[in-house]
Amino acid sequence: MNLFVLLFTLLFALSSVAEAKPAQLSLADIKGKEYLLSDFRGKWVVINYWATWCSPCLKEIPELNELHKKRKENNVLVLGVNFEDAPESRVQAFIEKYNISYPVLLEEVGALSQLGPIEGLPKTFIVSPSGEIVYRKVGIITLTLLEEVLKKLKKEQ
């Protein structure tokens, strides 16, 4: 009986992996321009959830700006997602103050984001060129770590 349950569980897990679906994301920036994750197929997409009150998030901004500058060299796009209840004017002032060079999208705070749970901020997702989430991290992320993870993921593709 235990062997049957184990076999059933294994088959179910394998079928779940085989049916992995591309991540879905549809958000607008402060100016109302809509961004669809599906528009970026063929590229690596780093999606960073943050808030203006989050001090660890501030530390990541220069790192993400640098990765964004290098995007043409490594086929990587950076998207920031402001994940808080804040007036758009405050978010815009924050973007300008910290010279955020990558697109910043707005998502309403909830238990789940469009990409899944946000257990804490900052939270970073990496989406593969095929559109699947292949990496998640809660906490500060550095340029060095992002480059190492992307290099490893690219080799695995």
Residue 148: CB atoms within 10 Å: 11
CA 121, CA 109: separation in Å to the nearest integer? 12
Tokens encoding 128:
């593969």
Q: Topology of 21-156 in CATH?
A: Glutaredoxin (3.40.30)
Residues of the chain with confidence (pLDDT) below 70? 1-21, 111
Bridge-based pairing of strands 44-50 and 76-82 is parallel
pLDDT digits (tens, 9 = 90+) for 107-123: 988 757 899 999 999 99
Q: What is the domain partition of the chain in residue ranges?
A: 21-156
Residue written as token pair 């964004």: 68
Q: Write down the pLDDT at residue 93.
A: 97
Instruction: Give residue 7's pLDDT.
Output: 38
**pTM of this prediction?**
0.84
Asked if 82 and 51 count as a contact pair (C-beta separation under 8 A), the reply is yes
Closest to 68 in 3D by CA, of 36, 37, 100, 112: 100
Q: How far is it, in rounded angstroms, from Cα 60 to Cα 33?
A: 24
Q: Please name the residue that has the structure tokens 């062997």.
A: 3
Per-residue model confidence as pLDDT tens digits over 48-65: 999 999 999 999 999 999
Model pLDDT, residue 148: 96
Question: pLDDT value at position 89?
Answer: 95
